[in-house]
Structure 1
Amino acid sequence: MALTLLDVAHWSTWAVCAVMKVPQLAAVLAAGSAQGLSVSSLLLELAGFLVFLRYQVYYGYPMQTYLEYPILIAQDGLLLLCILYFNGKTRRALFFAVIFCGVWYMLTLHKWIIDLAMNLCTFISAASKLAQLQCLWQSKDSGQVSALTWAMSAYTCATRIFTTIVTTNDLAVLIRFITMLILNLWVTATVLRYRKTKKTA
């Protein structure tokens, strides 16, 4: 029974992550605008994803526990390119790519670096959600922010809490997913609130 639930959790997480950023990308491309989206939030999220993926690979955790992260990183990279394009700052993409490649390499130079980075990863990822919340609070407009994308992100955090408990039981990973679940739900609720407010007005 536990094995079946674990398989369902893994497969559903991969399926959701394969299309997680599609609603957000579609909203941005359809509007031809990145209004309401925070570049800082996206960069912090990418940094958190890279650190988390590197940590999982470094410690040889089962691939099924982190297989969605390369997919999410690719989607975030594409979304970042779209935001930079619509904001007229496409040239910055190369700078960000060089920084992220350098960080990817440096993370595993010493064991203490990857361990420290993983502990900071939760704060980095939380900061990305808080940056998006701040952007929403300041504009009081959800703009092109997709509530569906944030809801799917909350779902994958919930499934990963379960899979982490069953497989690795890594406390640092569990704390990260619990924190991300709470913040993803908060962003989703905020997006829906400002969307409803806009429609009423």
Structure 2
Amino acid sequence: MTSPIRVLICDDQALVRTGFVTIVDAQPDLEVVGECGDGRTAVDLARRLNPDVVVMDVRMPVLDGIEATRLLAGAGVEHPVKVLVVTTFNLDEYVYEALRAGASGFLLKDAPPAQLLHGIRTVATGAALLAPEVTRQLVGKYAARIRPPESTPDDIALTPRELEVLRLIADGLSNSEIAARLVISQETVKTYVSRILTKLDLRDRVQAVIYAYRNGLAT
């Protein structure tokens, strides 16, 4: 039998937290290993319990969800934890900062239970939970902040085709849309995406989008 996905629930609203725990624990392939109501405890529990996924609220006392995410999944963390951020705000600055801090994706708190469960399972596999249309909105709103002025890297170890795919990812295209644009198969697109992430030492598509904008590779 495959071991269940271990989940830590962090939200300062007791009713929300209890709801999440109830929904997740009812699934045979998921297991809640802990819960808490502030960011500092979230970091301590995550380091002690070693969950597969942390469901993290943004606004919490003691330490907010963004800083907690940075401590658990940010650059330089030796054993990063996958973090799924939940928020009441759609594509606000908190979400942007959470993604920069290392979150693997985000959901709205009013999303249906099925979306929460899908999000946890998706993030647990190492994939990013950020729909292409959300990517378009996110980078459209924050591109100027992500991209530094005059950034023209000359040492990016990608082939011309891989650069092309990276730019299309940054434009918010899905794998099927990239395949149609380049007249190649979706499997080939997946291969390119995997190579891009490996060569650039990026965790997922979210990081690929931010990388492209930071380095002036997207418009």
**TM-score w.r.t. structure 2 length?**
0.27
More helix by share: 1
Higher relative CO (Cα under 8 Å, sequence separation at least 6) belongs to 1
